[in-house]
């Protein structure tokens, strides 16, 4: 079956920064077969000018001249809007199987979904629609968006991208859990005392102020990326590696969380003030270009989620994400309980740290299990050692987008969000966002580990893992 991809918003930043480089790398790996790409945008560009812009965005990938030519020849540029008439003009580029990639601001998704359906081009053949987060800014707006999409598209045709699900370590989380007899039985309340999921960035809001101000860390990161990591870290083993079963299990996790009515007890927020990152002075959020001087947008958010089921009874899952923190760190960390008896109480082993199983999502990716071992010598002295799985430094690593694009072309829904997952995540966080409509986020210095109020959501005896 021949395949085509239609890129809406083809002259925009998302397409150039993420989509074209990922497609070019897949082409380099001989994974695009006969794919033709119809690129459409509002700009009155000639085909040469458009292809030149794609060539620039893939220039750093080191493609040879033949590979580069083959990649660029896949594109045809159409100038046009989202009206059914303009979309109908794409017909000559369509194939038996077609992927419509909306590299557009989310406000335009419904218009594009309708434009494609009303153009008549989907009457025959196979058709898939690809949309990217954010999926709404609240449960209500997400439901409205879904209703608009579903008016024209069936759920099985929609691929909702959360790029974290294409990350190597996120996929490895499931393999580590479900392909190893030695790990999975330990991941439950009997052995695990807490789970911490952190996505910390050193970057500030950069030039994304139009999108970010008023959105903030809870909607930008926690509602989607961290909630997905949480689901994958907490869910039960699916009976088969099947997109529907897997997503049923993720929804079940979200539905098992029973948050307290008192939001302040389980959610915290912060906003960065001026500080120093990597030896460089950086301004406060309120001094960033384009930000409202009295903005209350949070640049850090943290929540404690309690999964009310047999497996995780009493084990808190702590999720936090923030900008301008002390270092770039993304990890999922399970902390195990102390051994049941203190055999070595009379030795320095008595103060040994409990074990941590840590999956690191950013460079260098990998998995570490910290264990206590005896230091060589005559004394019973403990030292922490790492059992390390190193899979992140090889040449074979692919970007999240490459992985996800290939899955879309192959029609595999496994790493994409189903609409009920999105809704269930909003249902949990809507009360927090509602409570945060008043008051202010606590300020935290850029380069720190975040606001001190993040500590207030921890249960007794728990501490955040260091970021800086």
Which residues are part of the catalytic machinery?
225
Compare residues 138 and 362 and give the one whose CB is closer to ligand BG6: 362
Q: Tell me the closest approach of the beta carbon of residue 457 to ligand BG6, in angstroms.
A: 22
- Report helix, strand or coil for 98: strand
Q: Tell me the closest approach of the beta carbon of residue 220 to ligand BG6, in angstroms.
A: 5
Q: Tell me the closest approach of the beta carbon of residue 433 to ligand BG6, in angstroms.
A: 17
Compare residues 325 and 409 and give the one whose CB is closer to ligand BG6: 325
Cα–Cα distance for residue pair 454/458, rounded to 1 Å:
8
What mask, x for binding ligand BG6 by CB under 6 A, covers residues 187 to 206?
Answer: --------------x-----
| Burial class of 132 by CB neighbour count within 10 A (0 to 12, 13 to 18, 19+) | buried
Tell whether residue 402 is a contact of ligand BG6 (CB under 6 A): no
* Sign, CA torsion 412/416/420/424: positive
**What are the CA-CA distances from residue 63 to residues 49, 58, 67, 74, 76 (Å)?**
20, 8, 6, 15, 20
Q: Tell me the closest approach of the beta carbon of residue 142 to ligand BG6, in angstroms.
A: 16
Per the DSSP assignment, residues forming a β-bridge with 41 are 79
Dihedrals φ, ψ of 360, to 5°? Answer: -95, 125
Compare residues 146 and 201 and give the one whose CB is closer to ligand BG6: 201
| Burial class of 137 by CB neighbour count within 10 A (0 to 12, 13 to 18, 19+) | middle
Tell whether residue 220 is a contact of ligand BG6 (CB under 6 A): yes
The alpha helices in 354-456, defined as continuous H runs, are 400-410, 419-435
Compare residues 203 and 380 and give the one whose CB is closer to ligand BG6: 203
Q: Tell me the closest approach of the beta carbon of residue 59 to ligand BG6, in angstroms.
A: 21
Cα–Cα distance for residue pair 243/241, rounded to 1 Å:
7
Containing 322, the helix (H) or strand (E) segment is strand 316-322
Tell whether residue 368 is a contact of ligand BG6 (CB under 6 A): no
The alpha helices in 219-368, defined as continuous H runs, are 227-234, 243-256
Q: Tell me the closest approach of the beta carbon of residue 128 to ligand BG6, in angstroms.
A: 21
* Sign, CA torsion 6/8/11/12: negative
Residues near ligand BG6 (CB under 6 A), total: 3
**Contact set for ligand BG6, span 26-45 (CB under 6 A):** none
Compare residues 201 and 365 and give the one whose CB is closer to ligand BG6: 201
**Contact set for ligand BG6, span 318-357 (CB under 6 A):** 330
Q: Which residues bind ligand BG6 (CB under 6 A)?
A: 201, 220, 330
């Amino acid at each position: 079956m021949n395949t085509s991809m239609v890129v809406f918003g083809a002259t925009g930043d998302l397409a150039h920064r993420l989509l074209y480089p990922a497609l070019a790398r897949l082409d380099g790996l001989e994974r695009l077969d006969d794919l033709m790409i119809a690129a459409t945008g509002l700009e009155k560009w000639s085909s040469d000018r458009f292809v030149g812009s794609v060539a620039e965005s893939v220039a750093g990938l080191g493609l040879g001249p033949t590979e580069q030519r083959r990649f660029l020849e896949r594109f045809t540029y159409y100038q046009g809007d989202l009206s059914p008439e303009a979309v109908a003009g794409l017909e000559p580029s369509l194939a038996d199987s077609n992927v419509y990639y909306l590299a557009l601001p989310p406000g335009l998704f419904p218009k594009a979904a309708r434009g494609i359906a009303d153009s008549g081009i989907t009457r025959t053949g196979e058709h898939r629609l690809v949309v990217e987060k954010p999926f709404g800014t609240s449960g209500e707006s997400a439901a409205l968006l879904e209703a608009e999409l579903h008016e024209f598209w069936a759920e099985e045709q929609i691929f909702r991208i959360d790029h974290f699900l294409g990350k190597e370590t996120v996929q490895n989380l499931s393999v580590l859990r479900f392909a190893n007899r030695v790990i999975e039985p330990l991941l439950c309340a009997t052995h695990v005392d807490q789970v911490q999921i952190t996505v910390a960035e050193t970057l500030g809001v950069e030039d994304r102020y139009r999108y970010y101000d008023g959105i903030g860390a809870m909607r930008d990161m926690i509602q989607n990326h961290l909630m997905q990591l949480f689901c994958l870290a907490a869910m039960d083993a699916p009976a088969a590696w099947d997109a529907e079963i897997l997503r049923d299990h993720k929804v079940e996790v979200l539905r098992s969380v029973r948050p307290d009515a008192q939001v302040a007890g389980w959610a915290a927020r912060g906003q960065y003030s001026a500080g120093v990152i990597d030896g460089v002075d950086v301004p406060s959020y309120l001094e960033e270009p384009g930000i409202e001087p009295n903005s209350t947008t949070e640049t850090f958010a943290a929540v404690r989620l309690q999964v009310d089921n047999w497996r995780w009874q009493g084990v808190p899952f702590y999720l936090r994400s923030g900008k301008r923190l002390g270092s770039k760190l993304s990890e999922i960390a399970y902390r195990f309980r102390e051994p049941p008896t203190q055999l070595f109480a009379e030795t320095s082993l008595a103060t040994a740290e409990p074990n941590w199983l840590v999956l690191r999502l950013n460079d260098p990716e990998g998995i570490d299990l910290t264990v206590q071992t005896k230091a060589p010598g005559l004394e019973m002295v403990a030292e922490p050692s790492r059992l390390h799985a190193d899979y992140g430094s090889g040449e074979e690593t692919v970007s999240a987008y490459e992985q996800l694009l290939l899955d879309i072309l192959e029609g595999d829904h496994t790493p994409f969000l189903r609409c009920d997952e999105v809704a269930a995540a909003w249902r949990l966080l809507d009360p927090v966002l509602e409570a945060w409509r008043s008051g202010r986020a606590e300020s935290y210095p850029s380069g720190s580990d975040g606001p001190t109020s993040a500590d207030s959501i921890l249960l007794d005896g728990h501490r955040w893992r260091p970021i800086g």
